[in-house]
Chain A
Amino acid sequence: MNNAIEISVKDLDLWFGKFQALKKISIDIPKNKVTALIGPSGCGKSTFIKTLDRMNDLVDNVKITGEVVYQGRNILDSDTDVVELRKQIGMVFQKPNPFPKSIFDNVAYGPRVHGVRKKANLNEVVERSLKAAALWEEVKDRLNESALRLSGGQQQRLCIARLLAVEPEVLLMDEPASALDPIATSKIEDLIYELKKDYTIVIVTHNMQQAARVSSNTAFFYLGELVEFASTIDLFERPRDKRTEDYVTGKFG
């Protein structure tokens, strides 16, 4: 298989005011694979994933040092075009957040803000994205209904479709299934399994079974440190660090 690196993180430190939330994180995220980030609440995994598309910019009092290299550039540099970056590295949030617009307009939102105007092109993007997000069959007859009338799981797949419409390279998912029931969760997991052929996916999850099911590599975060990063099988079955072992065997967390 190819071992290309999509994002390379070196010595990343992050402070919220005086509190250091991430300590010397170094990790190479492989291309076209699913990388899972696990760890107990407050371990910094969500903060870390938000650093990858600069969503931490929205928070006051954040200080970040270190390097996050994507396509040969350190995206933490102040001259990074954040808008362009977020087009290529998209994010799905914990809580489904479709806009209070129609299903069609939700998916068409990204292409529209990036300048696609022609109805025929939009139709095509919307259909392709909804198909890729395994939602097309369920909504094709009601594209003009409000997205808020969809179920939670459908809303989350809609958010994924909305993101795919922008044609990113990397998908960041911050606990995408934690607000969903088991059936909706398994649909999202199937979808992640499909999407990894074409995208690099980084997924934060509380759920270790989920990490084991969907990912090829897993990183274990604890108290702001990256304790261990290995192939998912190794991390769960042959953890090298005592803390990892305690966590994956359920002694704490």
Chain B
Amino acid sequence: MFVFSQGVPFLAEAGSSFLTGSVWLPTDSFAAGAWGIFPIILGSLIVTLGAVAIGAPLGIACAVFLAEIAPPAVRRVLVPSVSALAGVPSVVYGFFALLVVVPWIRGQFGGFGTSVLACWIILSVMILPTIISISTDSMRAVPREYKEGSLAMGATSWQTIRSVLIPAASSGIVTSVILGMGRAIGETMAVLLVAGNSVTIPDSIFAPVSTLTATIALEMGYATGAHQQALFAMGVVLFVFIMILTGLANLASRRRVTF
């Protein structure tokens, strides 16, 4: 509510140039165009979608392994470890990325190292536990009879996984990916440490990038007046994004299980 009361008047005043402009000079005077957050919105989307594109297939593959292939002993060890990963504070991930991933990128590809790629790597790891645990649960909830029926017709276990198990668990899998996406778009600390936070449209995956959350966190400490309101307005934009994602997640999980 507070975010809205601070942010919405600013949104109304700055109008669409706030969303579409690409120059962000918040400490300058209130000049038209200087409040453009388009690069930041784009940065958030690039970082989030890329992380999901990497994390979702990995996570689903891990879930198939845990639900179907892993022997019970392995499962007993891995399932709690995956949950434990979800509980690690994000600043720890960020710090790890800053010390390991960023220097690696700098060494391999040049540039600063703080980049889109660094964000993708660390965020895809961070969303794995969410995707793995929810997908695994939904696959284990698929009735045993489906699997038996498929195997009894001479399908291989891989065909059974692909054509029966994953489709039957699809609503849970989609939900897990959307929740993972929600975590990625909302992630602040880890991204802030490795993104580089330059308000430009990145021209390669090795270029620095800034996101809505990181920008708000970085600048709120010293922002005053219109700048502060602009950050609240960014909060509103972020809120809308997350509402859309949550809505999608609800739709996906309520969808009837047919395929």
Contact = CB atoms under 8 A, between A and B. Distances in A.
Given A93-B148, A99-B164, A100-B168, A109 B259 contact: no
Given A97-B143, A100-B257, A113-B159, A83 B148 contact: no
A128 interface: no
Which residue, B72, B151, B156, B168, has most C-beta atoms of chain A within 10 A? B151
Interface stretch (A159-167, A197-205, A207-215, A238-246): A159-167
B150 interface: yes
B154 A86 contact: yes
B155 A113 contact: yes
Given A99-B168, A109-B163, A87 B257 contact: no
Contacts of B143: 97
B239 interface: no
B153 A86 contact: yes
Interface string A57-85: 01010000000000000000000000111
Given A114-B154, A166-B154, A101 B258 contact: yes
B152 A86 contact: yes
B107 interface: no
B146 A84 contact: no
Contacts of B72: 60
A30 interface: no
Contact of B145 (A86, A93, A109): A93
A83 B152 contact: no
B146 A99 contact: yes
Contact of A101 (B151, B152, B159, B259): B259
Nearest to A60: B72
Contacts of A60: 72
A47 interface: no
Contacts of B150: 99, 109, 113
A99 to B, nearest CB: 6
Contact of A97 (B145, B155, B159, B167): B145
Given A99-B164, A100-B257, A109 B153 contact: yes
A163 B148 CA distance: 12
A149 B16 CA distance: 50
B163 A90 contact: no
B149 interface: yes
Nearest to A114: B154
Contacts of A178: none
Give the 10 A-B CB pairs with smallest separation, nearest first: A87-B154, A97-B145, A91-B152, A86-B154, A113-B155, A97-B149, A110-B153, A113-B159, A166-B153, A83-B154
Given A101-B259, A110-B153, A113-B163, 12 more contacts: A55-B152, A83-B155, A85-B154, A87-B154, A90-B154, A93-B148, A99-B150, A99-B164, A100-B258, A109-B155, A110-B155, A166-B153
Interface of A: 53, 55, 58, 60, 83-88, 90-91, 93, 95, 97-101, 109-110, 112-114, 146, 148, 159, 162-163, 166
15 contacts: A53-B152, A55-B148, A83-B155, A87-B153, A87-B154, A88-B154, A93-B148, A97-B149, A99-B146, A100-B258, A109-B155, A113-B155, A113-B159, A159-B149, A163-B153
